[in-house]
Structure 1
Amino acid sequence: MLDAVNARTLPGGEAPDSTVRDELPATLDAFLAGVGARAFRFAETGLRQREDALDAVQDAMMKMLAYEDRPASEWTPLFWSILRRRIIDVQRRRRFRLTWLSPAPRHEDETPVEWSDDGPDPSRTHDGREGYARLAEALGELPARQREAFSLRVLEELDVATTARAMGCSEGSVKTHLSRAREALQRKLEDWR
């Protein structure tokens, strides 16, 4: 999962630790090519619909083209911040449509119809698909800020400072959200083993 395309550095230029990628992408195209699959997984977890996730990632990548002249060290937090805002926009738009434009469907006994997820994407045929589905489901149940902190810090392996810049909050908030997310995920997934 680690590739040399997506390097991360601290504002002073030094790498935060030895496990972080040690090369910056040569071009914005190389950066976007390297981050695409991970960005899609992040968006799919937040939006729970493949088409919306693809659209959000594509929109974020298109917006990144305007920042091609920025230093490569700024691309990572900038991209994740743009994608995060795009996901929030889609979620808000969905909520508005669901509550104002269409009445909630009801069964014959007047109880609301609950929409269910169709399960994991069928293209995930590897041995860990059930584990992935459980993790994705557990992540989807977390509050948005906890899900973002966990995804960016653990799955994307961004350092605390970069995650804070991407989320638009303090480093302390990132640590708090991450700690709460880990506790909640541990509770949700401990029965699965």
Structure 2
Amino acid sequence: MPSKIYSHYFTIITVLLFSNISNAQPKKGEFIQASIGLGMSAPYEAYNILGTGFYAQAEYVFAFKKCLGVRPYAGLILTNPSESSTDANLSEYRVTSKAFLLGGKARICAPIPWIAPYIELGVGVSAGSFETFTPTVYKKDSGLLLHVPYTLGLALGKNHDVEIAVTYYEHPSVEQFSGALSFGFSFPLDK
């Protein structure tokens, strides 16, 4: 009996996802995406050591299909040590990022009207300074560093021109990731 219930749910979800594909995605074409938000940085290790600060990014969007696009980007992440750690033994440690971000990502959207979830993955470089100081790691570097960006987000509205996202930039050479909880808008360049 439960398998029949699950098959009904699966059928309903499939119909919702694919029945409105023509209206569910951002339009094909070129756009500018601007985002701003709360920046953060943290070590790969499971310590409660964070840096918090500011994040901003601009993307030039090439939407080849309604559910697929390429997004060259330029951004900025500025974090300072956070004093919100509840463990007094970790107060001397810090994870900070002060960098300009440049790279490209690809986005895949789900075809859902008004609320379109998406994922992004890419590669880029960070120009700036990074410090990861934890009980087991001390890495400090500046200059150009490779990063791997990935994002989970929601495109909202009739035209999906408002976005809420969680973005991360993995920095393997300094054993930290930077990220942001951001809010963004899309502006079409071709009407």
**TM-score, normalization: structure 2?**
0.22
Query: Whose helix fraction is larger, Structure 1's or Structure 2's?
Result: 1
Query: Whose strand fraction is larger, Structure 1's or Structure 2's?
Result: 2
Structure ID, larger Rg: 2
Considering Cα pairs closer than 8 Å and 6+ residues apart, tell me whether 1 or 2 has the greater RCO.
Answer: 2
